[in-house]
Structure 1
């Protein structure tokens, strides 16, 4: 019972391969008619192909040339701008007033304030009545 679907699944790829055939070729007469009608388009495509090939060769030569003055000029300009921005950042940082407290001091103060507040709340919640020494002993 379980072998039948398995055998069917194995047989399907073989059937698909058997049905595969060579791609159909258009008739030769139709190709000749198309070529005669598109001769000018064919010439245009040939011309564009030649232009593209020339551009590709020029770009390949430009990439192969390590002494590219345009790239060096751009890199120099970017370095100068980077230096200018670094100086501007340092100037802006120096104009800012110094912080009153550092981050570590801020955390220390907030912890201290929490401890004082907890102590005060504990003292207030105890009430005004004080326990006497004899009340401590059971």
Structure 2
């Protein structure tokens, strides 16, 4: 035999011993009937939990729906009250004569006209250009 095959043969000789030791230390599986019983019990608990969850969810939705509808109703009433108050305020306030843009235009025109009048008054009796030069 070649020396390269000795470790391989030794490993093959130890393999059955290793497998037997692994079987001895493996945890014992529960009986199939006990596992099935435990599975059925867990399924029943899951179904009961699902029913409780559905009942609580429905109760929560019903409670929040009532709260939301009451809140929506209050907000609608307040909205109607504010609309009515706005209409009253608009009816009571006098209509504006000029808009902001028109007001500024009038102020500018007034300033220009005032400048022309003051200029004419300051000119006085001087009609010719010679009078400007002393």
Band the TM-score falls in, shorter-chain normalisation: 0.3 to 0.5
* Bigger Rg, which one: 2
